[in-house]
Chain A
Amino acid sequence: MGKKKTVEKEALLLKVDSVHKEFIDTTAVEDVSFKVEAGRVFGLLGPNGAGKTTIMRMIMDIVRPDSGDILINGSPRPGLPRNRFGYLPEERGLYAHARVLELLVYFGTLNHMPRRKAEVEAIRFLDRLGLIDYSDYPVHYLSKGMQQKVQFIAAFLHKPDILILDEPFSGLDPINQIALREILNDFKKEGKLIILSTHQMEMAEKMCEHVCMIHQGRLIVDASLNEIKKRFRDNTYLLEADHALETLQMMDKVDVLEAGSNGIKFRLSSGLDSGDLLRIVSSKHLVRHFQMFEPSLHDIFIRLIQQEMEEHHA
């Protein structure tokens, strides 16, 4: 317990250092390194089969790396108590015939919670996620979404320092997505370290402050969300003005990408300033909206993957 307190005082830092994992005929993770700080939501992104789950399992010490280290504030992962971690695996499963509360208490006690406390906490979370009426029901009576919520509770019932969530939002309706985000925000505020993996880029954009992109076991990007967005800004703008398409099309250094009812998306070549362009357009047309277009994480993701594949083939 003493150790836990000191950990709480200094900010948590998880370091994945040159981790490598091979299975019989495939390399699942190839020399991946990154750091995760507490108080920020860390997103592990990548297509299916990229190696996200293997990395998460290694952080959970379910699978051990062939080489490299996973350190929490400098201590190697295998020696750390498991109850400091909370884990939601990608594929969800519960004991179908067990009763909801009974099951949560069992999982709580496996994380060394006193039985009574596990019961109180479980009831609190069941109430918060609207499941309190089902606490004495066998799990198989519950809908899939409800079962998923039970599984969330199982992951953070024991108030772990580090939360690892594999595709937490998949299969969850928007209302429950909001409820889960609120809970995760609370954990973030409490200074907990949160890692989530997803291939839903919009969700990652909403939730994560820092992202790591993995493709075929290799790390291709490791940066804060802002940084990535800045890096992939490519002088693209969005303009909403009456009949301005023709003007833009006639200009040399403007490359119109998309023209729709909401406006025109275009890229500026070097040599033309956005201020100058705005002046020219506004002198001729009524400009209702002008903004720098930030690429979505989704676009960045696709571009990166394509780029990576081209490089790899070359």
Chain B
Amino acid sequence: MRNMLRIARWEFRNRVRTRSYLFNTFISPLIFTMLFLLPLYFTTHQPDTSVKLIGVIDLSPEKNIANKLSNALNRSYKLENTLSQYGIYTISIKNAPAYRELSSELKDIEAQYDSLNRLHNRIKQERTAYFTQKATPNRQFSLNRSYERLRKVREEKELVSIELQRYRTAMDSLYAREARVVADSMIINNVLSAYLLFPSDFIKSGRIEYHSRSTADLLDSERLEKTLQNLIIRSRLQELNLGTRKVRELMRPVHLDKYKIRGNNEESWNIYAQFYGPLIGVFLLFIAIFTSGGYLFSGMMMEKANRILEVLLSYAAPGEIMGGKILGLGTVGLTQVLIWLFITFLLNSGGIISGGSLSYLTFENALYFLLYFSLGYLFFGAIFIMFSSIFSNEYDAQQVNQLLRIVAIFPVLLSLLVVINPNSFWIRLLSYVPFLTPSFMILRIPLSGQPLTTDIIITTGIMLFSIAVIIWISGRLFRVTTLMMGKKPSWSEIIYWIRHSK
């Protein structure tokens, strides 16, 4: 027993001082965390580098929506450099020849209408004078004549008015058509990101057309929809003469605070922090298990190759050597985990990461991390000892090492499924497989809404049993196979050794 502690102490001292240990303790986790967080940072914080130009075709008589929209967007969406994220471009085709021609004709008709109108008014004034000045000679005749004129002028005016209306409608439709042609070409030439077409009655009907190259730019269309909704409702309210203050009060924005249901305590939910935190945890667990497990493996392989093991076997019992190595390198891993937990604690108390929003940063979960690290390390460590006893060829041994790493990191591939339902049947079943238990449980514990006490007890039991079985087999193989050199043993030989080892 004392020799076991001496061996453990030697292994610990010799490993903790190595450069690879320092790298795996401080640099690897940093790299892993960066790998996770950088893409996340960029997708959420990536600044829009250019202003998006949105075209506006306004067919309404007021022609003021473009201004209002521009102001509203300017208030709400700004770029890093404080420029507005959206620019509004009013599409005008007033200089287009067809429109200009129509427009000049319209002007003639309008002038005609105006003169008719003036004439109509003058006749009306004349008639008023005839009515009031009863002493006017030929009054009745004048009245009759003027009435005749008035009737004619009115008829003519109505005809011109119809003509005017016809021209206006034609012009509107021409305007809309021409403006759309212009706007479409501007989108195709990437001048505009999108354009909005406001029909003349859009305030009443609430229907606005949104044209863009692709309908997948959900973010933009949602923002425009939201802004326009506000503007239009504001206009409708203003028409009710409610007063600016009242309108502002009614238009007070609604903000959705997002919460996740967790038992009785509701707390805010951030998918990235909630998901990537445990995932980083799994990677750290993986680094810790395979750093110390890897030392165990490479150490055994080296000592086998240079025959130190034979010297050690002459000083200490095989059980003491195995136990000492597992204990010593386990302490190496445990130190690593404790360093990480300490760093997390420091970051948390220093306010660099917010423990308040990361509900899984609890003392209890730290203990679970230590538990599953210990179980995982003992399990994989015992397997490493077993394989390093069997293999004497570094190449074969490395293949096994790679295979074990892939198996252990496998739960990360299923991490999305764990997020969706951490307690589904298959996920639970897979957590009972000793190779996968530590990674799955470290993912599940923080993600699961309810306490996993039963699963923790079951998996701990399974792990302890598996560890006992593998250590027993390793122990039986260790004495016989560690001194074997050269050839790769067959399965029948391995079984023979397990059965006949003394």
Listed in ascending order, the chain A residues whose CB lies under 8 Å from chain B are: 24, 57, 60, 62-64, 82-83, 85, 87, 89, 91-98, 106-107, 109-112, 151, 154
Contact = CB atoms under 8 A, between A and B. Distances in A.
Given A57-B483, A98-B14, A106-B10, A89 B316 contact: no
B250 interface: no
Contacts of B308: 93-95
Interface in B308-347: 308, 310-317
Given A60-B314, A62-B313, 18 more contacts: A24-B493, A57-B483, A62-B310, A62-B483, A63-B480, A63-B483, A82-B314, A89-B307, A89-B310, A91-B310, A92-B307, A93-B308, A93-B311, A106-B10, A110-B315, A110-B316, A112-B2, A154-B311
Interface in B455-502: 479-480, 483, 493, 496, 502
B502 to A, nearest CB: 4
A252 to B, nearest CB: 57
A110 to B, nearest CB: 4
Nearest to A88: B311
B307 A107 contact: no
B311 A87 contact: yes
A87 B314 contact: yes
A59 B310 CA distance: 13
Contacts, number: 62
A85 B314 contact: yes
Interface residues of B, number: 25
A109 B13 CA distance: 15
Contacts of B310: 57, 62, 87, 89, 91, 93
B15 to A, nearest CB: 11
Contacts of A85: 314
B303 interface: yes
A87 B314 CA distance: 7
B7 interface: yes
Contacts of A96: 306
A64 B307 contact: no
Contacts of A93: 303, 305-308, 310-311
Contacts of B317: 82
A107 B493 contact: no
Given A91-B310, A93-B307, A95-B14, A110 B496 contact: no
Contact of A82 (B303, B315, B479, B483): B315
5 contacts: A24-B493, A24-B496, A63-B480, A89-B310, A110-B315
A83 B3 CA distance: 11
Contacts of B483: 57, 62-63
Contacts of B496: 24
Top 3 closest pairs, chain A to chain B, by CB: A93-B306, A87-B314, A93-B307
Contacts of B306: 91, 93-94, 96
B6 interface: yes
A85 B496 CA distance: 30
Nearest to B318: A62
Contacts of A57: 310, 483
B3 A110 contact: yes
A127 B307 CA distance: 26
B263 to A, nearest CB: 53
A109 B307 CA distance: 19
Nearest to B308: A93
Contacts of A92: 307
B484 to A, nearest CB: 9
A87 B315 CA distance: 9
Contacts of B303: 93
Contact of B315 (A63, A94, A107): A107
B16 to A, nearest CB: 13
Given A57-B483, A97-B14, A107 B2 contact: no
A110 B6 contact: yes
Interface centre among B7, B314, B480 (most CB of A within 10 A): B314
Given A63-B483, A95-B14, A97-B14, A89 B6 contact: no
